[in-house]
Every structure is written in C-alpha cells, then in structure tokens.
Chain A
Amino acid sequence: MKPAQKDRFARHIRLPQIGEKGQQAILDASALIVGVGGLGSPAAMYLAAAGIGKLVLSDYDIVETSNLQRQIIHRNDAVGENKVESGRQTLKALSPDCEVGVIGYQMEADELRQVVDSVDIVLDCSDNYPTRFDVNRSCVETGTTLVTGAAIRLEGQIMNYQPAADSACYQCLYTHAYGAEESCELEGVLGPVVGVIGTLQALQALLILAGRGDALVNRLLLFDAYAMEWRAVTLPKNPDCPACGKA
C-alpha cells in the first residue's frame, strides 16, 4: 500500500476488524451496483470513498428533478443526464483513483451473468422484482456474493446471498410470484430511508470484502422507519427455491 493510501484510509486501517489487510482487499476489489437511484447513491459513494478499486454502475434511466430528494449522487445540474454518467462524475470527484465503469442500458440475461461473474460482489439497488430476481439468479449461477436492499415509503430491508456460506438467496423469500408492484413514484418514500438501507449495503459489502461479513447469513433485517423498529428475521434456505433449490 502506498503511503498516500495509508494516510487516506488510516481510520479504516486502525480498526482491528479491517486493518491494512482488509483495506488492501477493498482496494483490490470490484463491485457491480445495479440501480443508481436512492439505494445506489449512498452505496456507490461510500464504496468509492472507502477505496474500492472498481465500481460498475448499471442503470438505464435519466436523472429527473423528482429523484433529487433522495438520490444524492445526482446534482441539480445533472437533470436530463444518464444516471450512470451523472453517478460516474460524482464518484470520480469523490475518489479519483476509483475506476468507474458504466452500463447505461438494460442488459440481457447472458450479459448480466457475465458482468456479475466479472466482479467480486454485487449490490442490488434496483426498484423492481423482475430485475431483483434476474440479479439474484445471476449471482446464484456464478457463485457471486449479493447484498440486496429495498425500501419504499417508510420501510426498508436488507439481506445477503453468500454462496461461500451456502446461505439462503433472495428468491428463497418468494415462493409465490408477487404481482403487486409498488413504486416510489406511486407510494412515496422519505429520502433518508433509502439512504439508511443503501448505506447499510455499502457497510455490508465492505465487511464482506474485508473477510468480516457473516452477520447477515440467513438473516433478513427489516426497518420500520415510522415506528423506529428494527427486526432481524431468521431466513432458512428454501430447498424448493426456484433459484438456489436442488430441483
């Protein structure tokens, strides 16, 4: 590690759970962020600030004025730009050494699998079930660790799929199809709720990359922001899961 890096990341290195070894693992790591919205904003910014070697941003939307109350990676003057390009500019300003790749279109299943396979960890920060199931399946097929967060209104949740621990996957939660698609546009969302969950995704990713992230194996963490209640739910692996089950 270069002296400038030791200085920049001194507060991480001081932590016994991270140390120089953990920080080096973060510097050498790559992550795919699926969705550069409310969750992806803090997730990408914290990972870039923490020194992650490479981030790949995937999103095919453009920045709209109504995004700005929560999607803090995008600036007022980025309205009308592609989210991935706007995100890249913010990340490069924050952390010039972080390599930032962008994918500004909807990937087909094969390409998604290839991209997932090319990174160390995936953060699902998307906003719909079809994308979430596709990302989860790609992670299961390629044995890639997944940190998945979701938030709407005043509620959020986070869980991990960790193939090294043979953990439950995101699809284990969904044996039935969920037709009820809810969007932040229709339901509303209080900005910091996505901030809390996206930040936790970055936190989990950093701990996992540093070899310290087993706290959410087979556990789902639920956040009710209105009641200020957190619940941890034990989530057993579903043997009949359509993604990770034996069938």
Chain B
Amino acid sequence: MNINIEFYASLMKYLPPGKSRFRREVKVDDGITLSRLIEQYNIAEDQAHLVLVNGLFVNCGADRDNRALVEGDVVSIWPPVAGG
C-alpha cells in the first residue's frame, strides 16, 4: 500500500531520495504499524518525538505499537527540541 511520510528538521536526512524537501510517497507492507515504520527508516525512538498520523498526535509506546497504518495515511515526524 502507499502512504505519505513527512520527516522534518534534522530527520529529513532519513528520507529516501525525492523532490520535496520533507515529504515522500512510499510503498509499505499492508497494515504496517507506526513503530515498525519508524524502525524501518532507522529513526531512534527518542528522536521520533512528535509523531502525527493525518495531523493527529500519537503518543509513544503502546499507541505507536498498536497503530496499524492504512492506504493514504500521512505520517509526520519531528525530533525533540529543548534548546534555548
């Protein structure tokens, strides 16, 4: 199935080659979980801070482990930011 991934800021380096600066349409296994998708792109758990599916926040841990993605979902990921 096809989904869209958006990796922002310092996570953009994990995107496969493509035109957009932060967004790609990618093919993934049917029913892949959010946690598995994050792992597949080699993003460490503590770097996948803000994870959204179709614009809605998904907490880390069980919520991500249990969230099966469906065709057309948009997954957006931001790293943690604490500096000042």
A50 within 8 A of B: no
Interface hit among A86-94, A148-156, A206-214: A148-156
- B52 contacts which of A124, A129, A149, A233 (Cβ < 8 Å)? A233
Interface residues on B, range: 20 to 34
> Which of B8, B9, B84 is close to A149, meaning CB atoms less than 8 Å apart?
B84
Shortest distance from the beta carbon of B42 to any chain A beta carbon, whole Å: 15
Q: How many residues belonging to A are interface residues under a CB distance threshold of 8 Å?
A: 46
Query: Nearest Cβ in chain A — how far from B6, in angstroms?
Result: 9
What's the minimum C-beta distance from A206 to chain B, rounded to whole angstroms? 19
Q: Mark A31-69, 1 if CB is under 8 A from B, else 0.
A: 000010111100000000000000000000000000000
Q: Is the interface of B mostly helix, strand, loop or mixed?
A: loop
**Are B57 and A125 touching (Cβ within 8 A)?**
no
Contacts of B8 in A (CB 8 A): 155, 222, 224, 227, 229, 231
Q: When the two chains form their complex, are residues B46 and A40 in contact, meaning their CB atoms are under 8 A apart?
A: no
What is the bound-complex CA distance between A132 and B55, given in angstroms? 25
The complex places the Cα of A227 from the Cα of B83 at a distance, in Å, of: 19
Is the C-beta of A5 less than 8 angstroms from some C-beta in chain B? Answer: no
**Residue B59, interface by CB 8 Å:** yes
A152 contacts B46, CB within 8 Å? no
Q: Are B61 and A176 in contact (CB under 8 A)?
A: yes
* Interface residues, chain B, with chain A CB atoms under 8 Å away: 8-10, 12, 21-22, 44-47, 49-50, 52, 55-57, 59-61, 76, 78-84
- Give 13 A-B pairs besides A181-B82, A234-B55 with Cβ atoms closer than 8 angstroms: A124-B84, A129-B82, A151-B81, A153-B9, A155-B81, A156-B81, A178-B49, A180-B47, A180-B80, A220-B50, A222-B78, A226-B21, A234-B56
